[in-house]
Structure 1
Amino acid sequence: MHYVTSGQGPVVILIHGLFGDLDNLKTLGKELEENFTVVRIDVLNHGSSPHVANMSYESLADSMAKLIEELNCTDAILIGHSMGGKIAMATALKYPQRVSKLVVADIAPVAYQNRHDKVFAALESMPLPEIKDRRQALAHMQSWDIDDATAQFLLKSLTRTEQGFTWRMNLEGLKANYANIIDWPHFNRSYHGPCLFIRGGDSDYVTAEHRQAILTQFPTVKAKTIEGAGHWLHAQKASIFNRVVKDFITNG
């Protein structure tokens, strides 16, 4: 798994969401690196990490446990957004001794409905051999009614090679594993370490109906809502989000 490290102190691993890369939580990393060893990862099938056939949360938890071992630490603080939050939760449930604290941003430990068909269609239909510059790529995304902010985020994974533009993420692998990504396995266990769930006040990813699933699997959970933020709370309200996270992992 590809990752970069900065800072010094207790190990904090930052885990991005679907279609993202290790830069997604970079501003949070800069906020933490004075007091922590910050590890920003490319999740498998994203960025510069290997392409794999299986993206079940059990297997992704295994990969995270191996990374913690590779970093020569007994345990780590895990902070994940969206799909990254599910990876963090799965690791805490499967390897609780490896996770000292857990922060989950705008996702619940439940299965979700499909909500990315249009995004996959836009990405798959990108005429890569014909694309000359990023303006063309952006126009293509807009033609699929993808809003500019989302399009710019997705196009971060578009890279130019000598042969032309290509996707750094394993688009085929992500689509093949999408059912696993929106699903949630039954671990039949709970994580009792310090745990914070942060949701965006304008987001529908974490709602009152998810409360029992969260409490059952993470009974010591603390919760925080950031008003005026949606699913991209770490970008929309970065200073508040960073402060909340830093306070929790520093003071509990």
Structure 2
Amino acid sequence: MSLFKLAWVQRGFLVARRCVHNTAIHSSSLRDWSQLHPVALNYLTFEPSDGATRATRATRAPPDQASAPSKGPIVICHGMLGCAQNWSTLARLIANRTERMVLVPDARNHGQSPKLGPITYPHLAADLRRLCHDLDLNDITLIGHSLGGRTAMLLALLESAPIKHSCVHPTTRGGIKRMNNFLQALANVDFQAIPDSASFNQAKAIVDRILARSMGDQTLRSWLLMNLTQSSEDEGKFKYSWSFDVHLFEAHFEKDLVRVPGQEQWVPFGKPTLFLGGAKSNYIPRDGHDLIRRHFPGAVFDYVADAGHFVHVDNPEEFLRKLVDFL
């Protein structure tokens, strides 16, 4: 059983110092980044400043290196159907508590990054590598959740030079059915049913009622509704949609996002890596530690009390404490 199959059978946070790669591409070309045509990702930057943080959204402009903290940057990779905005509160806290610059990119087909396919781990890792290269980032600490954790792990296993640490939070086999249900519910939202005169809050309430038919968890719906976008057509008239192309996810999820390819090219990532899971989940099983250490010899494991897959949401204070202690 491979690490990434295991990470898929779990879900946890990965904290490592380096990134990575694709499925539609033959495994022999995993290190040929140019074949993957990486896209420029949109990202948020958080910098500590007198107990506060300054948040900046950009696409390719580099962070203000003159004002950035002297310590290496932290790059946070969100999970599937998430976005950089989901991490704003925690990113500010991490920036302040570590006194380090924190960048949170929107993965392709998420948030404000391009709605492009294919969506495979090699492509996601190539995008992340391009971001780090374009911004000339070094001594990086990668933090990844779920889809973002696997992306970060793959990059770390293929190209570890600029990565200093990593931290991962991995999914269960039951997670496949659950995600497919999410995607179907999102695809079934009829945005044409929303009056073009509806305000954003009115539209959000309408979509929430539609999602509630198949999704009883209000917290989950609120999280997904952060992907609702509004565009203006005429004065006083609006059009609503998801910030992602749900059909791209449907096309690639089971085919390309359940397992990570190219194991024969993985090089063990020996730098410090924290696997941080929820005590209430089985995403990082205790009996899987030895298998993980074959690929991450510097791995340490910890669990957050009273937390499931969404460790950073279920118990954010303990999550932050354990993360900052590790860093």
Tell me whether the two structures share a fold, i.e. TM-score over 0.5. Answer: yes
The reply to whether residue 245 of structure 1 matches residue 320 of structure 2 is: no
CA contact (8 A) 1:94 1:187 kept: no
The residue type equivalent to 1:204 in the other structure is N
Map 1:79-228 to 2 at 5 A: 79-105=143-169, 107=170, 113-131=176-194, 132=198, 133-162=203-232, 163-179=238-254, 180-188=256-264, 189=266, 190-208=268-286, 210-228=288-306
Compute the displacement of 1:6 (Å): 2.1
Q: Does the Cα contact within 8 Å between 1:25 and 1:234 map onto a contact in 2? A: no
Q: Which has the larger radius of gyration?
A: 2
1:22-69 deviation digits (Å, cap 9, x = unpaired): 022223211222311110111111000012212221222121111111
| SS of alignment partner, residue 326 of structure 2 | helix
1:47-66 equivalent positions in 2, closer than 5 A: 47-66=111-130
The Cα shift of 1:181 comes to 1.7
CA–CA distance in 2 between the matches of 1:32 and 1:113? 31
Correspondence for 1:18: 80
Worse overlay, 122-131 or 23-32: 23-32
Q: Which amino acid aligns with 2:191?
A: L
Residues in 1 aligned to 2:118 and 2:215: alpha-carbon distance in whole angstroms: 30
**Counterpart in 2 of 1:32?**
94
Give the secondary-structure state (helix, strand or coil) at the position aligned to 2:124: helix
SS of the residue aligned with 1:17? Answer: coil
RMSD: 2.1
Q: Could you tell me which residue of structure 1 aligns to residue 314 of structure 2?
A: 236
Q: How many pairs align? A: 248
For 1:5, the equivalent position in structure 2 comes to 45
Q: Which amino acid aligns with 1:6?
A: F
Q: How many angstroms does 1:225 deviate by? A: 0.4
Separation of aligned partners in 1, 2:176 and 2:286: 16
Report how far residue 114 of structure 1 moved. 4.2
Cα distance in 2 for partners of 1:174, 1:212 equals 32
SS of the residue 1:121 aligns to? helix
* TM-score normalised to structure 2 length: 0.71
Structure 2 unaligned spans of 5+: 1-40, 48-67, 233-237
Query: TM-score, normalised on structure 1?
Result: 0.91
Secondary structure of the 2:274 match is strand
- Conservation of the 8 A alpha-carbon contact between 1:56 and 1:177: yes
Distance in 2 (CA, whole Å) between partners of 1:62 and 1:134 is: 34
Q: Deviations over 1:90-134 (max 9, x none)?
A: 1111111121110112x07x9x74431211111000011112521
Q: Provide the rounded CA distance (Å) in 2 between the counterparts of 1:238 and 1:138.
A: 25
CA distance in 1, matches of 2:90, 2:326: 13
Report if aligned partners of 1:199, 1:233 keep a CA contact under 8 Å in 2: yes
Gaps of 5+ in 1: none
Shift of the 212–146 alpha-carbon distance from structure 1 to 2, 3 Å rule, reads farther
Which AA in structure 2 matches 1:234?
A: H
Name whichever of 130-139 and 45-54 sits farther off: 130-139
Q: Is the 8 A contact 1:92 1:98 kept in 2?
A: no
The alignment partner of 2:178 has SS state of coil
Instruction: With a CA cutoff of 8 Å and minimum separation of 6, indicate the structure with the bigger relative contact order.
Output: 2
Q: Which residue of 1 aligns with 2:13?
A: none
Instruction: Give, in whole Å, the separation in 2 of the partners of 1:23 and 1:213.
Output: 34
Aligned residues of 2:86 and 2:226 also touching (Cα < 8 A): no
Counterpart amino acid of 2:299?
V
**Comparing 132-141 with 225-234, which one deviates more in the overlay?**
132-141
Mapped to 1, the partners of 2:302 and 2:188 lie a distance apart of 39
